[in-house]
């Protein structure tokens, strides 16, 4: 029986990722450079170590751009785009259902605590979470399972007693590596990416019966 649910944040609870890609793509375009989704996707759901979109134009293409001005412009554009974003469909339903069922609710994200708390407060859902683990709590972020392992320990749950809710390949890999079942709800950006970790996929969390998730029946026919 499932006793807890652990949510990813960026792209899962609220679609921050589409806004980031749009902001970066516009900034790159202003310098005559096309930022492909394939290139950008390497930093979705993880750290920026493999590809840093803030620095690529300067470090790899050697364009004469002020790094701080570029970063500030992208962040301001992202903030503007995020004013139009709301919580993704089905998230509130699952939060309320989990609370009613007496489940433990956690959050495991590769983003910083400051970033996450800003939007949790904005969405008014901070009080739902019994445990929050962010990049500030671990050495390695997703796809490393450390975030999920810490969240499980914090909630007092075994891997088989919890379900992860994710949107990205890196996130689903982390959940699988931690020994958890995973429901994947891709957003506009991550829907184009390939997932190679076992998961159950749906385009809208409200389309997935909560009771079936609790019983784990819906995972019996899950495919990669």
Catalytic residues: 8, 10
* Conformation bin of residue 162: beta by default, left when phi > 0, alpha when psi is -120 to 50: beta
Maximum CA pair distance of the chain? 57
- Using CA atoms, how far apart are residues 30 and 144, in angstroms rounded to an integer? 35
- Burial of residue 109, with CB atoms counted within 10 A of its CB: 0-12 exposed, 13-18 middle, 19 or more buried: buried
Residue carrying structure tokens 């375009």: 29
Phi, psi for residue 115 in degrees, rounded to 5: -60, -50
């Amino acid at each position: 029986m499932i006793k807890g649910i652990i949510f990813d944040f960026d792209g899962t609870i609220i679609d921050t990722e589409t806004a980031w890609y749009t902001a970066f793509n516009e900034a790159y375009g202003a310098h005559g450079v096309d930022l492909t989704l394939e290139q950008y996707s390497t930093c979705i759901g993880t750290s920026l170590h493999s590809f840093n979109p803030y620095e690529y134009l300067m470090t790899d293409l050697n364009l004469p751009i002020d790094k701080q001005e570029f970063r500030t412009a992208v962040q301001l554009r992202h903030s503007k785009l995020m004013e139009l974003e709301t919580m993704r469909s089905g998230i509130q339903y699952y939060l309320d259902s989990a609370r009613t069922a007496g489940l433990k609710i956690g959050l495991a994200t590769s983003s910083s605590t400051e970033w996450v708390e800003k939007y949790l407060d904005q969405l008014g859902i901070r009080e739902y979470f019994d445990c929050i683990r962010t990049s500030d709590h671990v050495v390695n972020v997703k796809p490393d399972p450390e975030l999920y392992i810490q969240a499980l320990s914090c909630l007092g749950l075994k891997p088989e007693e919890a379900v992860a809710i994710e949107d990205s390949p890196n996130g689903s890999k982390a959940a699988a590596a931690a020994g958890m079942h995973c429901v994947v709800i891709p957003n506009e950006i991550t829907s184009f990416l390939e997932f190679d970790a076992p998961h159950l996929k749906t385009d809208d969390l409200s389309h997935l019966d909560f009771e079936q998730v609790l019983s784990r029946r819906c995972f019996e026919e899950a495919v990669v």
